[in-house]
C-alpha cells in the first residue's frame, strides 16, 4: 500500500486523505497535542514539508516532489507501526505559542499550568514583578520552568527532576530560550537536593496516573517514561510528598500550584480538611489546585 502511495499520490490533499484513512484504519490513539486523525495528519505533513502549521488550505493542491513524498510516507508509517506520539517524530511540542524540543526521554508537554502562567497566575498573584524565586518540581522538558521565567521577569527559577535524561532535554530548551542565567537545573528526588531553599511560587506537574489507569494506557502513552507518569495505587503518591514538604520551601506568602489529572475526587477524599482552590483552565476546574502556605495540610 505504501509503495503504491509513493507512486500514485501527488498532492498534499492526496496525502492528507491517505494519512487520515491509514490512521483511522490503524485505530491510533490521539492525545499529545491533537485529538483526531485529521489534525494529527495536518500537523505531521505540514511539519515535514516545512510549511506554516496554521496554513493548510493554501497548499492542499500543491504537488510533492519524490523526496517529499518519501519523507511524508515515512512519518505516516512510523506513526502507525511504532505508535510514537507525533511530538517524538518531529522532536517538538507546543504550549500555546511556545515551541519546545522533546524526545522519548521526557513526556510530551501538555500541562494546564502553562495557560495559567500565561496569565501570570492572575488573580491569585498581585504583582508578578515582585516574584523573586520559583520552583518547578518534576520539570521534565523544562517547559513550565521556562514559561515561569518568562511570566515573572525578575525571578530565578529552580527546575528539579529526578531523571538526568530529562534534565538533558531541559538544558537544551533552557539554552534555546537563552535563560541559562535565570533557570537552574537540579537533579533531585522531590525536595531532597534543595534543602533550606524557599520560593515565592512552587509549580508542579508531577506523576499522577493511578495503577488501574497505568495498566490500561494506550500504546502511545506507554512510549513516554513511566517515571513521569505512575504515582501509586491512587495516583497521589508524589502529590502527598509535595503537600507534606511544600510548606518548608515556601516563603510566608508563597503559593503552591499543582496539576493532578483526574484525581480531584481522590485528593479531596484523602485530604478532607484542606480547602483546595481549583483553578479554571480551558479543560475545566478539576485539574489544577492552588494552596497558600498557611492552607497546606499539617502533617500531610
pLDDT in tens, 262-271: 999 999 999 9
Distances in whole angstroms, Cα of residue 276 to Cα of each of 35, 117, 160, 260: 30, 19, 24, 12
Q: Quote the Cα angle for 169-87-155, to 5°.
A: 45
Q: Which of 13, 50, 20, 51 is nearest to 34 (CA)?
A: 20
Strands 288-292, 250-259: pairing is antiparallel
Q: pTM to 2 decimals?
A: 0.94
pLDDT of residue 248: 95
DSSP single-letter state for residue 33 = S
Is residue 83 packed enough to be buried (19+ CB in 10 Å), middle (13-18) or exposed (0-12)?
middle
Domains of the chain: 2-90 (no CATH), 111-295 (3.40.50.150)
Residue 246: all three cell numbers together: 511544600
Give counts: helices (H), strands (E), the chain.
Answer: 12, 9
The contacts of residue 289 (CB under 8 Å, 6+ apart) are 257, 258, 260, 264, 267, 276, 277, 278, 279
Q: Quote the Cα angle for 252-150-250, to 5°.
A: 15
Instruction: Determine the Cα–Cα distance for residues 272 and 97; give it in Å rounded to an integer.
Output: 38
pLDDT of residue 291: 97
pLDDT of residue 293: 95
DSSP letters spanning 209-252: B-HHHHHT--HHHHTS-GGGTB-SSSS-HHHHHHHHHGGGGEEE
SS3 breakdown of the chain: % helix, strand, coil, rounded to 5? 40, 15, 40
Instruction: Determine the Cα–Cα distance for residues 6 and 173; give it in Å rounded to an integer.
Output: 36
The list of the chain residues with pLDDT below 70 reads 299-300
Residue 213: all three cell numbers together: 489507569
Task: With beta carbons less than 8 A apart as the criterion, state whether 195 and 215 touch.
Answer: no
pLDDT of residue 299: 55
Amino acid at each position: 500500500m505504501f509503495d503504491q502511495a509513493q507512486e500514485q499520490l501527488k498532492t498534499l490533499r492526496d496525502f492528507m486523505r491517505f494519512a487520515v484513512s491509514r490512521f483511522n484504519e490503524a485505530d491510533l490513539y490521539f492525545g499529545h497535542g491533537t485529538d483526531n486523525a485529521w489534525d494529527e495528519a495536518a500537523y505531521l505533513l505540514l511539519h515535514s514539508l516545512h510549511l506554516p502549521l496554521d496554513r493548510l488550505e493554501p497548499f492542499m493542491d500543491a504537488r510533492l516532489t519524490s523526496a517529499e513524498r518519501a519523507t511524508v510516507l515515512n512519518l505516516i508509517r512510523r506513526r502507525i507501526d511504532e505508535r510514537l506520539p507525533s511530538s517524538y517524530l518531529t522532536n517538538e511540542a507546543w504550549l500555546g505559542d511556545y515551541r519546545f524540543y522533546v524526545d522519548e526521554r521526557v513526556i510530551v508537554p501538555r500541562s494546564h499550568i502553562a495557560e495559567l502562567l500565561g496569565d501570570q497566575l492572575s488573580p491569585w498573584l498581585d504583582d508578578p514583578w515582585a516574584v523573586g524565586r520559583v520552583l518547578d518540581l518534576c520539570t521534565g522538558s523544562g517547559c513550565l520552568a521556562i514559561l515561569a521565567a518568562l511570566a515573572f521577569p525578575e525571578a530565578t527559577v529552580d527546575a528539579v527532576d529526578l531523571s538526568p535524561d530529562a534534565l538533558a532535554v531541559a538544558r537544551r530548551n533552557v539554552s534555546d530560550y537563552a535563560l541559562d542565567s535565570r533557570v537552574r537545573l537540579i537533579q533531585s528526588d522531590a525536595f531532597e537536593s534543595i534543602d533550606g531553599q524557599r520560593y515565592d511560587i512552587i509549580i508542579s506537574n508531577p506523576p499522577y496516573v493511578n495503577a488501574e489507569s497505568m495498566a490500561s494506557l494506550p500504546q502511545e502513552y506507554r512510549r513516554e517514561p513511566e517515571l513521569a507518569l505512575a504515582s501509586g495505587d491512587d495516583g497521589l503518591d508524589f502529590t502527598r510528598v509535595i503537600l507534606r514538604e511544600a510548606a518548608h520551601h515556601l516563603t510566608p506568602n508563597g503559593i503552591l500550584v499543582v496539576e493532578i489529572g483526574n484525581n480531584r475526587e481522590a485528593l479531596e477524599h484523602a485530604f478532607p480538611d484542606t480547602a483546595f482552590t481549583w483553578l479554571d483552565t480551558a479543560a475545566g476546574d478539576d485539574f489544577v489546585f492552588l494552596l497558600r502556605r498557611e492552607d497546606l495540610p499539617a502533617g500531610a
